[in-house]
Amino acid sequence: MTPPLVQVRLRDYLAAQLRPLAIVLAAVVAVTAPTAFYVLGMRALTVQAQVASRQVGDVIRSDVERRPAMWKYDAVKLIEHIRTYELQESIARVEVVDDRDVPIDPHHATALAELDQEHLLWQVSEVLVNNTVVAHVWVAMSTLELRRQAWALLAGFGGLAVVLAGLVFWLPMRAVGRAQHEIGALLARLEASKAELAALNAGLERLVAARSSALTTALLELQEKEHRLRELSLRAVEVQEQQQRSIARDLHDSAGQTLTAIRINLQLVGNLLEQARPDRLERCVELAIRTTALVDETVEEIRRAVRSLGPSVIEDVGLTRALERLCEDVEQQGGLLVETQLALGDRTLPPALETTCYRVVQEGLTNVIRHARAGQVSVKVTVNTDVLEVEVVDDGIGLPAAARAASNAGHGLVGMRERVELLGGRLDIAPESDGGTRLTAVIPLRQT
């Protein structure tokens, strides 16, 4: 079972990222404009207070210049003179203090003490007469209106900031919500596709397992049939060998003995004719000699047929001695120098294996005599732990010409290869580096 896909939480992640940004944006939009308005208003009030203090100072300086000695003592007239001066509406209080730091207008001093100092913006100007400071003029500007306007502006921009922050937060969240919904749908379809794929994979695995089981069963049946076929082939070879041995024995026992008796009789006829009439003696003797020669040739042909039909010599003297006799016969008849190296030991081999070994050596030596034009041949038969190895090496004209001659000669090599393969072995024919041909047969000892 495949694990479920990880749930996508884009909205949560984006909300965590946008929330501080929206808060900062709301704070900046809400505070920036009111703060700037308040700072600029405070600067304007400061300038107005400075201008008003200078204007009042000019009035006092004019009065001082007209009454140098009496202006300090006629404070009431000075105050009335100042009141007659039209000041701006934003000026809250005016206090004139002489050089003794005593307010000229006690009423103003009392009222000044009752005012809220947090709502006043004070500015001072010096009254200079003949380069001498004769008084200080303090002008207080009220900041209540400015603060009310700043708070109202803060409220308006605060609402605007909330709206902008909401839009900045809501629009991306809506887009991401749609994207998250689509991604969720895609993931759901992907999960469904994975489930379908898993089902198909399971079905395919079951199909493969069924096919594998069927192929395994078919392979076992094929191996069993091959094993039976090999057994039947081996049995057929054994039956063929037995039939050939039976035919060879029949030929040897019947025709061979009969021809031998004929030869003996002809010899007796010849001996008797020597005592007959002289004019026919020579002719009878000549016929008897020719008949004897024909009988000898027929006997020799029968012996060759017997040897080719079934090497009964293996049953008589064993494989090692049979191979030695075969090599001796080839050396005498073919004029070759045959070197033998037979390492069969005392191990008993199956009859079919011994017959095949004998036939391979026999066919190899026959091909060397007929086609290789060799002067020397080496025969090596070795029994190892699990295989029987046969080698026939000559110093003749090499593989190509020998192979062409062998193919034209008949089916000797083909039959030899079939014999070896029936027993589960292999037969190789390859040229030697210095000329000649190497025939190698490797046959397993255990027949499966």
CATH number at residue 326: 3.30.565.10
In this prediction, residue 407 carries a pLDDT of 44
Picking from 282, 284, 280, the residue whose alpha carbon sits closest to that of residue 266 is: 284
Strand-pair partners of 440: 391, 428
In this structure, is residue 59 part of a structural domain?
yes
Q: Would residue 328 count as lying in a domain? A: yes
Q: How far apart are CA 178 and CA 340, in angstroms?
A: 94
pLDDT string in tens for the chain (448-residue length): 444 444 567 778 778 888 888 888 888 888 888 899 889 988 988 888 888 778 777 877 877 777 776 566 555 555 665 655 545 444 545 555 554 444 544 444 444 444 456 677 788 888 787 887 777 777 777 788 888 988 998 888 888 888 888 888 888 888 888 888 888 888 888 889 999 999 998 889 899 989 988 998 888 888 887 777 777 666 666 656 666 666 666 566 556 666 676 777 677 666 666 666 665 566 666 777 777 777 777 777 776 666 665 556 777 788 888 899 889 888 888 778 999 999 887 778 888 888 889 989 988 988 888 888 888 999 999 998 889 999 999 988 876 544 544 444 445 777 788 888 888 889 999 888 878 899 999 999 876 5
d(CA 185, CA 191): 10
Q: What pLDDT score was predicted for residue 128?
A: 82
Report the pLDDT value the prediction gives residue 435, as an integer from 0 to 100. 81
Together in a domain, 331 and 216: no
Q: Which pLDDT score, from 0 to 100, does residue 410 have?
A: 47
User: CA-CA distance, 232 to 239, in Å (whole number)?
Assistant: 10
User: Residue 370 falls within a domain, yes or no?
Assistant: yes
What gap in Å lies between CA 193 and CA 445, rounded to an integer? Answer: 58
Residues 174 and 46 in one domain: yes
Closest to 158 (Cα-Cα) out of 418, 166, 431 = 166
Number of domains present in the structure of the chain: 2
Ramachandran region, residue 21 (left: φ > 0; alpha: ψ -120 to 50; beta: rest) = alpha
Tell me, yes or no, whether 219 and 318 share the same domain.
no
Query: Are 82 and 206 part of one and the same domain?
Result: yes
Token pair recorded at residue 400: 């190509």
Q: Which of 172, 201, 224 is the last residue before a domain boundary?
A: 224
Q: Distance between CA 388 and CA 93 in Å, rounded?
A: 136
Domain extent, residue 119, equals 1-224
Do 53 and 178 fall within a single domain? Answer: yes
Domain boundary among 224, 244, 259: 224
The 3-class SS string of the chain reads CCCCCCCCCHHHHHHHHHHHHHHHHHHHHHHHHHHHHHHHHHHHHHHHHHHHHHHHHHHHHHHHHHCCCCCCCCHHHHHHHHHCCCCCCCEEEEEEEECCCCECCHHHHHHHHHCCHHHEEEEEEEEEECCEEEEEEEEEEECHHHHHHHHHHHHHHHHHHHHHHHHHHHHHHHHHHHHHHHHHHHHHHHHHHHHHHHHHHHHHHHHHHHHHHHHHHHHHHHHHHHHHHHHHHHHHHHHHHHHHHHHHHHHHHHHHHHHHHHHHHHHHHHHHHCCCCHHHHHHHHHHHHHHHHHHHHHHHHHHHHHHHHCCHHHHHHCHHHHHHHHHHHHHHHHCCEEEEEEECCCCCCCHHHHHHHHHHHHHHHHHHHHHHCCCEEEEEEEECCCEEEEEEEECCCCHHHHHHHHHHHCCHHHHHHHHHHHCCCEEEEEECCCCCEEEEEEEECCCC
Closest C-alpha among 72, 208, 89 to residue 134:
72
pLDDT at 283: 67
Give pLDDT, residue 105. Answer: 46
Question: 338 and 217 share a domain?
Answer: no
Q: Is residue 378 included in any domain, yes or no? A: yes
Are 210 and 325 part of one and the same domain? Answer: no
pTM over 0.75: no
d(CA 248, CA 178): 100
Q: What is the pLDDT of residue 377?
A: 93
For residue 240, tell me if it sits in a domain: no
Last residue of a domain, one of 168, 197, 224: 224
Flag whether 148 is in a domain: yes
Per the domain annotation, does 80 fall within a domain? yes
In a domain, residue 212? The reply is yes
